[in-house]
Amino acid sequence: MTGLHTIEAMRDAARRRLPRFAFDFVDGGSGAESALARNCAAFEAVRLLPRVLTGAVARDPSLELFGAKYALPFGVAPIGLANLAGSGTDLGLAQAALDAGAPYTLSTAATTSIETIARTAPGAWFQLYVGADHAIVEDLIDRAEAAGFKTLIVTVDVPAPGKRVRDLVNGFSLPLRPTPAMALDLLAHPGWALDLAANGAPRFANLEAYGGKGAGAQSLAKLMAGQSSARLDWALLADIRRRWKGALVVKGVLHPQDAARLAELGADGVVVSNHGGRQLDSAPAPIEALPAVRAAVGPRLPVLLDGGVRRGEDIARAVALGADMVLLGRPFLYAAAARGARRGGGELFAILADELDRAMTQLGASTLAELRQVEVFAPTTFNAAPARPDLRAVESRRTAP
């Protein structure tokens, strides 16, 4: 491989390739971007205690989840407007995930349709935004089922959109209305601009069906703006549970009581997530919230995590603290922008798989079940047990050697 060995290197390459407004849309967070920074920093505070003299263990990081077998315990998080990283990003990442034996999640706000992804990458997951128009929500669920999707991820952490300061400063909105600064930005990034000229601006492909005849980008963008989940509550989620026959996973959970109630409601899994630091800026890092969520739901409910995962050892840390599977958002967009989606996504899967393999070897863990037994020190986790509504910072599972 020629040179890109880390997500940081892919991010640098993406920054060079993309115009500023596109890079900032992908890279940025909300508010002061504290949650965004915390998501990565909190991983560094998690220590794993290696075991030595374990001999040559054969490593197997595969798992079964929601009725499917995966070769790797990490996959692609749902990403709206992914084709801003380059045309064909959704499709290329879906193919890269399929090649790697890992899950890919298609967003409601994707730039490629449910039906197209289903043809290319059977087994992909679909992420649902519960927008203002209930008929659209029901139709999206039915379309996903008809296309053969088996896992639905309902995102619940967007009751109001986060305040993304970088987008405001850049004047980034949809449809793209180039300001003079943007025009200069485009001239400075001719590769990206030519791709856009050849393939058209990214569109909300899943919502085009509802825009009415002749719907332009503007009305679709308006439609998307109504996709935040303000009206979503427990009763509505129960309705969705009744309608969707496949695995139902709820994304954007941080409080253990919410996780426990979701298990009671019949959710098949939760994703511990703060939306990659793009929503509540004072939210804890998912890796900080994970142990209490796992404690609240017990050992059997699948718990996934996303936010701030930047190397294979972060995946090991998340599994050791109770995650079954980890998802990544921005890193796959950096990879797509840097190398093209299928190739870059494939390289990213390979980098992370290699790093995870090295970590498992050094920890003496041959399977994910053994990784879960590794001794962990995590200094800043929450312990909001179901019986106690208050969040209290305590040490979790501190262990002495």
Ligand X SMILES: Cc1cc2nc3c(=O)[nH]c(=O)nc-3n(C[C@H](O)[C@H](O)[C@H](O)COP(=O)(O)O)c2cc1C
Q: How far is the CB of 213 from ligand X (least distance, A)?
A: 26
Binding residues with ligand X: total (CB under 6 A): 22
Candidates 356, 363, 391; CA nearest to 61 is 356
276 scored as a contact of ligand X (CB under 6 A): yes
Mark the segment that binds ligand X (CB under 6 A) among 142-150, 162-170, 181-189, 327-335: 327-335
Measured CA distances, 11 to 18, 82, 305, 344, 365 (Å): 10, 15, 21, 12, 30
Of 307, 322, 344, 345, the residue at the interface with ligand X (CB under 6 A) is 307
Report whether 274 contacts 191 (CB < 8 A): no
Q: Please indicate whether residue 134 is annotated as part of the active site.
A: no
Task: Figure out which of the listed residues 77, 93, 106, 384 binds ligand X, where binding follows CB under 6 A.
Answer: 77
Residue showing the smallest CB distance to ligand X in the complex: 329
Three-state SS for 83? helix
Q: What are phi and psi of 343, to 5 degrees?
A: -70, -50
Regarding 127 and contact with ligand X (CB under 6 A), the answer is yes
With respect to ligand X, which residue has the nearer C-beta, 63 or 271?
Answer: 271
Please give the Cα distance from 28 to 396 (Å, whole number).
Answer: 30
**CB neighbour class for 361 (10 Å; exposed up to 12, middle 13-18, buried from 19):** middle
| Torsion 266-267-269-275 (CA) sign | negative
DSSP-assigned beta bridge partners for residue 54: none
Stretch that binds ligand X, among 9-17, 77-85, 196-204, 358-366 (CB under 6 A): 77-85
Minimum distance from residue 214 beta carbon to ligand X (Å): 25
Regarding 92 and contact with ligand X (CB under 6 A), the answer is: no
Which region among 74-82, 257-265, 350-358, 361-369 touches ligand X (by CB under 6 A)?
74-82
CB of 127 to ligand X, least distance (A): 5
Scanning the structure block, which residue is given the tokens 């870059």? Answer: 344
Active site amino acids: 275
Contacts to ligand X by CB under 6 A: 26, 39, 77-80, 107, 109, 127, 155, 251, 273, 275-276, 278, 306-309, 328-330
